[in-house]
Chain A
């Protein structure tokens, strides 16, 4: 019976002790794996948002709530509908330094009989768009036809299905990859389709009219600044030239999200460190207490010829196996939490949240597992050393 099989028997036949030690390690693994997945998901969400916005400046109506509505729509998927005169786009193109300007028009569907799902509809102009089209092109090979829609990954409609928006039948032609932002709950269509939907919404009493009474409206204009021009200067020029319009630097919006993310990352990291320090200490003390309980057993082994090396190895193998069981349990529990309740985490944090790909998750799980085993073995190292130096005569006589 070599050290490994003896260790295994000890663990199996002392289930209470094994469960207690494994559970402590499970807390370590749970905090590291769960916390890391949350932080990585937030980072991936931020990167995705940055890539998806794809513009340097976004023009929105300067109504008090427009900017907030726009940000909420992007981050949390809340419905937003605000409009401004479509001529804003041509005026923006006249500002020096503006290379491209792409309009988007928003319409929120209703949770009513006329609409099969409650969603945000975004109309784009395929001939001008430079922000959404590259993403759509990944899922859709042809052009976006009239009454065709591309849906975000969280919209419950499959390709080929018909969804009704204000009694208008729209065909789903593609689904977008997840972004971890509010854009996952949006539906994209071309401007002709959007105009049809706006008219249908008008008929249902959902007005998109602006004070000038002009029917040709847009909700936002995405601006790409020409190389060599300072974005802030162009931003100031746009603000000066366009009345009732706010020019938002996308970087400032990202910075806000990034600051929140940094705060959350810091909190999660501190939590992980505190949990680890506490659990390590408890684990260390638990192993020290076990020394007393197991002195007699190790004394017997020593008496019949086990070397110090063999006993130390046995104690370390046992703790490493507890680490393995604990790591596996902790990762399992954390996975249930972070994957099954990802929507809840996303909505409660109010930040872009994109779960990393499977290879990153597996790598993280393997790292956490390794860490659990190493930490468990480290916490028991002193106890293992003490046990390997048990004096058989004293331990057997006194049972200590």
Chain B
């Protein structure tokens, strides 16, 4: 077992006619095992991104615990949790996620450089070429299209060499060809390098690569029935 959510829930304060609270995620249990691609589908506002943020260690659940092996993520100090995020959790966020003052190459190598680790230059070259952004290595993020920025974020997460890769709509801005490349790359990572991949998506193509499919509705998860 790698990443596990134990009875986690998330409640936000929100003024509505009926209540002052919005239950984004109601108590749920989830296991994300290695060598598996888990795909989570669901309508907008069903709580998918909130769940992914809690699993990523960036949003503390209102209740429950998130375990990485035998470590309770939210019992760690900020320093320890940050280090764990850097070394064991790779996150591909839904939104544009570049540091604007750095070039594409610098952005991609940033996780390693942040803690003074050896720079995976060779792997960076390989993945940039694989996702066709090698010619943009010295470009600034503002010069890139949405799809190119998305591929940059995917390469950055892969180069972190994490045990768990959490991706929020990783193919959102991509064309069919690149969507296929990304999904097969994530599948290969899970099955050839024993990574745990958890993907939130609306993309039906993703289902082909999924080992396990889940559906989220009103803050709860259910097995997906095709």
Could you tell me which A residues sit within 8 Å of B by CB distance?
A: 1-2, 6, 9-10, 13-14, 296-297, 299-310, 391-393, 396-397, 399
A297 CA to B140 CA, complexed, in Å: 14
Question: Are B160 and A297 in touch, CB under 8 angstroms?
Answer: no
Closest-CB distance, B102 to chain A (whole angstroms): 6
A396 CA to B49 CA, complexed, in Å: 11
Closest-CB distance, B117 to chain A (whole angstroms): 10
Residues of A within 8 A of B56 (CB): 303
A13 CA to B50 CA, complexed, in Å: 34
B115 is an interface residue with CB less than 8 A from chain A: yes
If A1-B109, A305-B85, A396-B95 are given as contacts, then 6 extra A-B residue pairs at C-beta distance below 8 Å, sorted by A number, are A1-B113, A14-B101, A301-B99, A303-B56, A306-B82, A393-B50
A10 CA to B101 CA, complexed, in Å: 5
B86 is an interface residue with CB less than 8 A from chain A: yes
Taking a contact as CB atoms closer than 8 A, the residue among A9, A302, A303, A308 that contacts B102 in the complex is A9
Question: Are A307 and B59 in touch, CB under 8 angstroms?
Answer: no
Residues of A within 8 A of B58 (CB): 302-303, 391-393
Number of A-B residue pairs, CB cutoff 8 Å, is 88
Tell me whether A393 and B111 are in contact in the complex, defined as CB-CB below 8 angstroms, given that A301-B99, A307-B82, A310-B82 are known contacts. Answer: no
Q: What is the size category of the interface that chain B forms with chain A?
A: 35 or more
B69 is an interface residue with CB less than 8 A from chain A: no
Residues of B within 8 A of A13 (CB): 100-102, 140
Closest-CB distance, A212 to chain B (whole angstroms): 86
Closest-CB distance, A176 to chain B (whole angstroms): 57
A10 CA to B109 CA, complexed, in Å: 16
Residues of A within 8 A of B110 (CB): 1, 301, 304
Residues of B within 8 A of A397 (CB): 49, 94-95
Residues of A within 8 A of B99 (CB): 297, 300-301
- Which residue among B82, B98, B109 has the maximum number of chain A CB atoms within 10 Å of its CB? B82
Question: Are A396 and B93 in touch, CB under 8 angstroms?
Answer: yes
A140 CA to B8 CA, complexed, in Å: 92
90-146 of chain B: CB within 8 A of chain A: 91, 93-102, 106, 109-111, 113-116, 140
Tell me whether A305 and B116 are in contact in the complex, defined as CB-CB below 8 angstroms, given that A1-B110, A393-B59 are known contacts. Answer: no
Question: Are A297 and B111 in touch, CB under 8 angstroms?
Answer: no
Residues of B within 8 A of A299 (CB): 97
A330 CA to B31 CA, complexed, in Å: 60
Question: Are B59 and A391 in touch, CB under 8 angstroms?
Answer: yes
Question: Are B97 and A396 in touch, CB under 8 angstroms?
Answer: yes
Closest-CB distance, A50 to chain B (whole angstroms): 57
A6 CA to B116 CA, complexed, in Å: 12
Closest-CB distance, A391 to chain B (whole angstroms): 7
Question: Are B115 and A305 in touch, CB under 8 angstroms?
Answer: yes
Question: Are B101 and A305 in touch, CB under 8 angstroms?
Answer: no
Closest-CB distance, A12 to chain B (whole angstroms): 8
Closest-CB distance, A293 to chain B (whole angstroms): 10
B176 is an interface residue with CB less than 8 A from chain A: no
Question: Are B53 and A304 in touch, CB under 8 angstroms?
Answer: no
